[in-house]
Chain A
């Protein structure tokens, strides 16, 4: 790591796990002052700062990919660690997400036009009967920022809507969210619907949401569980790493 921004260096002290220090530290290896300022402003939810600095970086000749990776995603990685370790909570994550959106508004048109091959296609939705979407939306933002195409089915998504979307978009991954213990069983119902439609063998399913646990995800027949948006990205990357080059699920 190579910190030239004192505030960011202090933020990095919150990253204490060895593997994460190495991984996140590498994101700041370039020691670029402007990228580190963007990351710092994002961590602190300064959306006006991120908006202004992203615009400035593009004018200065930074590529959209560099700003995304070295500024926004690097900052969001520290936000993810702080959230997981209960150093910050959802309001603080929401203002960081708002700042990320401000930066992405400048980058997305450039990234879309660049024709970079996406990492994979994901269908995301909150399950039937559940209208909560904050966690799902954070995951979607991070997944898109990480190079996935994500089709957001919104809230209160019926099992057949997941099935139809997988077929329509030829998706490799389905991500489901639930906030209520009363609606969590609908995750299992949706997985059954994917099985009945003959799609289960071709896709990976990941679950998340405040009351969802890894063991519940296993019980429901999912392939993976993410405790937060960063983990959702990790799971999705692991999944696409398991697919063969023609996109076929080897399991």
Chain B
């Protein structure tokens, strides 16, 4: 046995205690009466067009603030245009109005240190104004412009789409972000409006017309509530709002209600592999409830005891006692119109993943068996009741809450009513609420982490079936499914026929049996531009020979029906593998000249695929589907010239695999056929090469060994 010494530390503490004769039990403190809480009186005014205004004067600081609730949301957008409402909310503000460009609005506001912002979320939209009170009118005028007369400038739509695509590309970088996003899909369903999110394909499918339509449908005065507070006189502000919003016409679309949620309780483990983390992000729970549920007040106390406060059971046991996590909390949430989620979150090192999960399950189970102790009830109820005054200490909070309650038709004294109910909650009520609402044996458990290092594998947890979620990001338009409806096929065929006509007509195209091109493509790399001279001979339909010179080295790529050769990484010519041959076939399948010649081939279906304005010119798109309805590529045609301007597909490039777009910038006419002689290649929206053709020959003499293995 070891003999222990009393540490010097201990002595020091004892001395400290001795030195402070003063000692106070905080529970015995007596407090003076709390100064009266003046709940500020919000005035409500409705304009004749249905716009509802909430007003509160606050002369403490020279500020003017407004917050608006707009009754719309991304739940209203079509699933194949997910991201539409979000982009609409952004571009309303950035895309300018009939009076000011977006950039002018930026200058106006930032010139006075003010801000006006708009956004549209899942179930509601919002707008806000913050300016010094001397600029109240400026704020209101800009706000009215943005809400009423946005012009959705194409350039700013593109910016918003770039932002969306970038967010998609980054969405798997943050483990907690992954967990939150995927957990909503697990609870509400992958397609649910409460969980779904944008993808490259849905962002690419959004056009300016969609934004204009969305705005036109839902942005009208009866759908908007505006709360204003700050340093002003009520009547002045009402007059200003009337001046800028008074002549806004009522709308005529009824906003559809939120859809219901379907949910079945099951026990499941979901696992997402993330290689670059040493900590697991874990979410556990199931569907939650509604604010109007009878036991809502009981659940307020239940939440505080389980995992919503500093001294909650999850905090005490998972964090402080076991040291398993920094973040450990859990709440049963409720919304007004659709059920919330019951979730418990813990982030623990990979090696204690299983242990932490079991601890949390135990705590949830214990909620149903162990009534809260006296101390727990005091902290939970006392915390709620004693902090009640903080619901009213900020004008912004008071006025916005009233606006929300009004929207849902909730009584204005809802909080006071809930407070009265919380006062009456007993420990048994908490156990009853836990029994009625929590299903510890039927939860969805999501783990984002590095499975190799787990203490217990998901299967060995013996909780339920394990489902592995693939979070790889689906590519965009190049592989998106095509909607082959008869109208779209008719339109697609017409556009393709126009293009065939524009390049010289069917007869002239049919005379093209082979084509030889010489020129240079310039690779654009982070290290600089590399010019590459090349020569390519293509014999339709399925033989080609490409030769180029890369920094002094000759490189070959030859394809001859069912075989081929290319220069391998060591400089030696090697025979194409099966995979290479498949790739070469795909390349030919989307070769512009080849596709144009298949305009009447029933194996290839042209499908109209939307339109966009690019740099002031309208481009109409046609997706080409193969026999199985799978996308081969997507051609863009200039609406004036009818000539192909772009060709997008999923493919391999020297810079990697991805969404590739070839653009065609200029054409030369040879033997009555227009051939693209200048263009560029983009990979995921980033230009990686420019192409310049210097020589074109149609139906040239073809040497005998043109498509055989090079010497």
A binds B: no
Which residues of A are interface residues toward B (Cβ below 8 A)? none
